[in-house]
Structure 1
Amino acid sequence: MPRLMLSDEQWSKLKTIMLQEGIYDKLNLRLEVEGMFYRMRVGCPWRDLPKQFGKWASLYKKFNDWSMTGKWLRIFKAVVQDPDLEWVFMDGSYVKAHQHSAGAAGKACEAIGISRAGRTSKIHLAVDSYGLPISFKITDGQVHDCLAAPSLIESFPPPEVLTADKGYDSKSIRQQISEKGTVPNSPRKKNSMIGNANLDRHLYKLRHLVENAFARLKHFRAIATRFDKLKRNYQSMLDMACSYLWLPM
């Protein structure tokens, strides 16, 4: 039997949320979910999944259906319970797109662009005071942090302080943060005439929490390298990974 990821306690918590989302409680539901997590962890093609998880085509169809209807996204949002919003940290990270994900162009949104690293996607992530993911956005690899920040900021409740690096130093972003009653804590760019007198440097040092979250997420090979062609399927993989980080909480 392949190595599994979910303990009985974690499965009990996840199953309760899945049933609330209208997922039918089949006898092999846990095994199907473990198959999806296995693919997330090892990054193998769907057709190479071990036979113990069932027919790979059926498993992929179910994952694709849940992705299309946004079930994994809703599960992630349900798993995120009582995040510590005293401080929130934001950052972005590139993900290399495998050649199997960057094939012929289609009509569906892919969010794969060309940056210095080649064909890439970019994950824009926000974590709470404990370094747990609370929201993320996926864009083309060449999209600057400042362009993705407004929608990311709107996707989670206002914290007391929002910390990010100088890539988020924008007058409009600072204004958006301040209008929510949040204190922006980002260093100014080198050409700024205002300076960093108001920067909380001790809090800024804790920005490694979002870097640690990226490191934990990229332990899963289907997150560290993008194998999914469709944006929504890769997003569902990331929803699964973020949910897994929350399950022990």
Structure 2
Amino acid sequence: MPRTMLTDDHWSTLNRLMLKTGRVYDKPEHRNTFEGILYRMRVGCPWRDLPESFGDWSAIYRRFHLWSKKGVLMQLFTELRQHIDLEWEFIDGSIVKAHQHATGASSDEHQAIGKSRGGNTTKIHMAVDSCGLPIDFIVTGGEVHDSKAALDLLEKLPDAEHVIGDKGYDSEKVRELIRKKNGVPIIPRKRNSKVGNGDMDWCLYKYRHLVENVFARLKHYRAVATRYDKLV
């Protein structure tokens, strides 16, 4: 039996939250399905190479695709982030290399794969709270600049006292949106700026490693560190 991740307490919590989505998810095989999804994300193998102990690979993939499409997985994410410390919000983006198997999806929908300096890439734009726990995220093509994606990301975020980002977010539109949401932008200006950084709180800025730590943890999962999936 391959290494699994869910304890009885973890599964009890997940099962309870899945039932809140309005669908029946208390079937015994769903725990194995969830373990199969986590295993595939962790090791990055093709879906059809999932160990048989998790069940039929095609059933696991179909459920993963259905739960993604119906928003079940995002509802789980939303439920698990209930206790948010909004004194600080940290935002950042991280590039994910798209494997050649991820390209060529037969769909008219945008699949968040773009051409950047590294070839075919996807970018994850993430926000975390004062404790370094994820609040929300969006996924774009790798060519999308942080400051452009920030506007969409900030619209989704709850109001925070301070919003901290790196120089990639040096945009007056971003700062105006943060102030509109009753926050204080802590974003350094670029070297050629005429305004300068006299108003920067460099002590608070040093805590920006909290969002980078989240990406470091996420990329322990090989299917996140490298994108193998065709569909976003």
Stretches (4+) displaced over 4 A: none
Structure 1 residues 70 and 188: alpha-carbon distance in aligned structure 2, compared to 1, 3 A threshold? same
Q: Is 2:92 the partner of 1:103?
A: no
Alpha-carbon deviation of 1:14?
Answer: 1.3
Q: Is 2:164 the partner of 1:139?
A: no
Q: Which fold has the larger relative contact order, with Cα–Cα distance below 8 Å and residues 6 or more apart in sequence?
A: 1
Equivalent runs, 1:1-249 vs 2, <5 Å: 1-21=1-21, 22-103=23-104, 106-231=107-232
CA contact (8 A) 1:120 1:141 kept: yes
TM-score (norm 1): 0.90
CA contact (8 A) 2:87 2:162 kept: yes
- The alignment of Structure 1 onto Structure 2 pairs a total of residues equal to 231
Unaligned stretches of 5+ in structure 1? 232-249
CA contact (8 A) 2:44 2:221 kept: yes
Alpha-carbon deviation of 1:104?
Answer: 5.3
Deviating more after overlay: 103-112 vs 131-140: 103-112
Deviations 1:186-226 (A, max 9, x none): 10111211111111101100001111000000000110000
Tell me the distance in 2 between the aligned counterparts of 1:186 and 1:23.
45
CA contact (8 A) 1:108 1:230 kept: no
Deviations 1:84-121 (A, max 9, x none): 11101001110000110013553132110111111100
- What amino acid is aligned across from residue 227 of structure 2 in structure 1? R
Alpha-carbon deviation of 1:81?
Answer: 1.4
- What amino acid is aligned across from residue 91 of structure 2 in structure 1? M
Unaligned stretches of 5+ in structure 2? none
TM-score (norm 2): 0.97
Q: Cα RMSD (Å) of the superposition?
A: 1.0
